[in-house]
Amino acid sequence: MDRRARISLDRLLPRLRAEFTAADPAAWRVFETRLVANFDHLFGLLLPLYGGQYDFFYWLEQILATAARMWLARPADLRALDAVREADPGWFQSQRMLGGVCYVDLFAGNLAGVRVRLPYFKQLGLTYLHLMPLFACPQGENDGGYAVSSYREVNPALGTMAELRDLAQELRENGISLVVDFIFNHTADQHEWARRALAGDPEYQDFYYIFPDRTMPDAYEKTLREIFPESRPGSFTKRPFMHVPGTFGSARHVNAVDRWVWTTFHSYQWDLNYSNPAVFRAMLEEMLFLANQGVEVLRLDAVAFIWKRLGTTCENLPEAHLLIQAFNAAARIAAPTLLFKSEAIVHPDEVAKYISRDECQLSYNPLLMALLWETLATREVKLLQHSMRERFAISPGCTWVNYVRCHDDIGWTFDDADAAQMGINGFGHRQFLNAFYTGRFEGSFARGLPFQENPKTGDCRISGTCASLAGLEEAIQAQDADELDLAIRRVLLIHSVILSVGGIPLIYLGDEVGTPNDYGYRADPAKADDSRWVHRPFTDATRQARRLDASTIEGRIYGGLQWLIGLRQANAAFAGGEMLVVDAGNPHVLGYVRHGASGRVVIFANFTEREQRVSANTVRLHGLSYAFTDLVTGQSVGLGSDLILEPYRFVWLVAA
């Protein structure tokens, strides 16, 4: 242990013991053991963040006391789960892992409805359920729940915190881990902390970035990127604050004074000031409170923006990583079950920096998602293949969360240098992809909508459900049975990749039954200007019921997915994240190998509507055999001739 850390712990431990041992001596011993094991690391993270503060050691003690209090309040069954997870730290890398994500209200009405859907989740094979923002939030504009008024309260329209706790327990008893969003870059302006700041409380004004005039906002904005330049230019919002200059006699004079608040995303979302250690302590308590309700994974929202420094973009700063690592270290002490999943829709180089066992053990893989759609549009695998080869490997003990759609838009986040190596102009290629997925490109099968389109630059992102982007909507409108078949094949193809490539596959619930775009969002004034609501429809119970009929569109998609899920979960070669990209010798076919102690699977996938060929020798070289079984069809595959892949078909080959 670092000498400074050891001395600090030696001074703090007697004070902590005196305060907490008597409450539960056995639990305190467990806590102290973890504290001693992790203190050096935690201290080394907090020191560069807050060591310059005059009261650093006061806040260090408060942070440890918060961790101790929350550990002692942790239910016995969750403490037992902590011990199990510590004994098997790689539990989330099992091939049995399968995620689902949904909005509570759109999918099931409320938390009680989610409990009713438990058999549905089990039938699909889920082991991980991510419920989109469900905490108390303002009425009207709330960024789809990403403006949080209280981390301790569920949105009353969805249920109560007690219901969420009971749901977490029931899910856990059925082998499903609960995942929720931890919106920790900002709070709603209706959060109690913001209300106190508005009322003139200087302690809570220090929880946010609040300035008396435009001097500092103007200085910061010289280097800041606007997130929504068309709809909300700038990163600061003017608000009237109560100002209490003093007391004269018995009368207290209160004045309203305009000030500027840092609001990266929307005017009602106030950025938290993590340079203040009081904010770290307060948010640590909220995080551990959620862990004590049974939440096993927190999706850390907007990780790139959590630290600010003048003269920079205030994105992806080194202190942001230290901050997340400090939260992680505290969780190892007070709630070891808890894992972090990063949400960083930024350059691929920056995404990778958030992924480590000490920071975020899980991470969304936005690059794979974007490039699956890019490959469907171009029918060429070169950019996907190159990016998977160069950027898929991550820190040991961590895993990607792979998905084809989510609640958000699609941004074309590939690296321009990677594209240039493949002979692709990044700017022009994004223009093509935007045209293709909005149906403006001749011959496109996609029916998406532009999001945040800039008519001057042609820049935009893409909204739309998986089914509509893959051609199902257009095929149904055209009543074209052949195109319908191709669209279903596309849906299954891209899901086959996320199920087999390595990591946790995540299904945006509704995609498993081919849910199309819902244009009804236009009738709601609160949603009409946000095209992302086109892929956030209410669940159609009739559509879900048809999933059990193999003759329906829903049944063909659901049945195909369920079969692939079963194959994945039964084959240990799909565990972990080790993956080798191989050259299929065909520009339209993606090839990769999954292998481990339990065996080897060679995957080839045709990304075109035409039959494609892979040479017998290529299959032999990577499969290390002359005879195979295709797990997908159960058929034998010999190498008496080349491997023929039908349109949008894929094979998972194991040596016979």
Place of tokens 């972990």: 576
Pairing mode, strands 589-596 and 128-131: unpaired
Length of the chain: 656
Residue 595, phi then psi, degrees to nearest 5:
-150, 155
Residue 4, phi then psi, degrees to nearest 5:
-65, -40
The tokens describing 111, both together, are 């938390």
Taking the C-alpha atoms of residue 578 and residue 593, their distance in angstroms, rounded to an integer, is 9
* Residue (of 92, 96, 100, 117) closest to 170 by Cα position: 117
Helix/strand/coil (H/E/C) assignment for every residue in 18-56: HHHHHHCHHHHHHHHHHHHHHHHHHHHHHHHHHCCCCCH
Crossing angle of helices 3-20 and 56-72, in 10° steps, is 50
As annotated, the active-site residues are 301, 343
- What is residue 298's three-state secondary structure? strand
Residue 605 near residue 650, CB atoms below 8 Å? yes
* Residue (of 620, 656, 503, 588) closest to 99 by Cα position: 503
- Give the amino acid at 372: L
In sequence order, the 6+-apart residues with CB closer than 8 A to the CB of 477 are none
Residue 245, phi then psi, degrees to nearest 5:
-75, -25
* Residue (of 469, 436, 438, 433) closest to 451 by Cα position: 438
Residue 461, phi then psi, degrees to nearest 5:
-120, 175
In sequence order, the 6+-apart residues with CB closer than 8 A to the CB of 322 are 45, 48, 49
Residue 601 near residue 573, CB atoms below 8 Å? yes
Residue 505, phi then psi, degrees to nearest 5:
-75, 140
Residue 399 near residue 361, CB atoms below 8 Å? yes
Round the CA-based radius of gyration of the chain to a whole number and report it: 26
Taking the C-alpha atoms of residue 400 and residue 503, their distance in angstroms, rounded to an integer, is 5
Q: What is the number of alpha carbons within 13 Å of residue 476 lying toward its C-beta?
A: 17
Place of tokens 């990266």: 264
Taking the C-alpha atoms of residue 269 and residue 237, their distance in angstroms, rounded to an integer, is 10
Taking the C-alpha atoms of residue 377 and residue 303, their distance in angstroms, rounded to an integer, is 30
The tokens describing 203, both together, are 């302690």
Taking the C-alpha atoms of residue 187 and residue 185, their distance in angstroms, rounded to an integer, is 7
The tokens describing 424, both together, are 């692709």
Residue 308, phi then psi, degrees to nearest 5:
-120, 140
C-alpha distances in Å from residue 397, one per residue of 15, 93, 223, 610? 36, 8, 36, 39
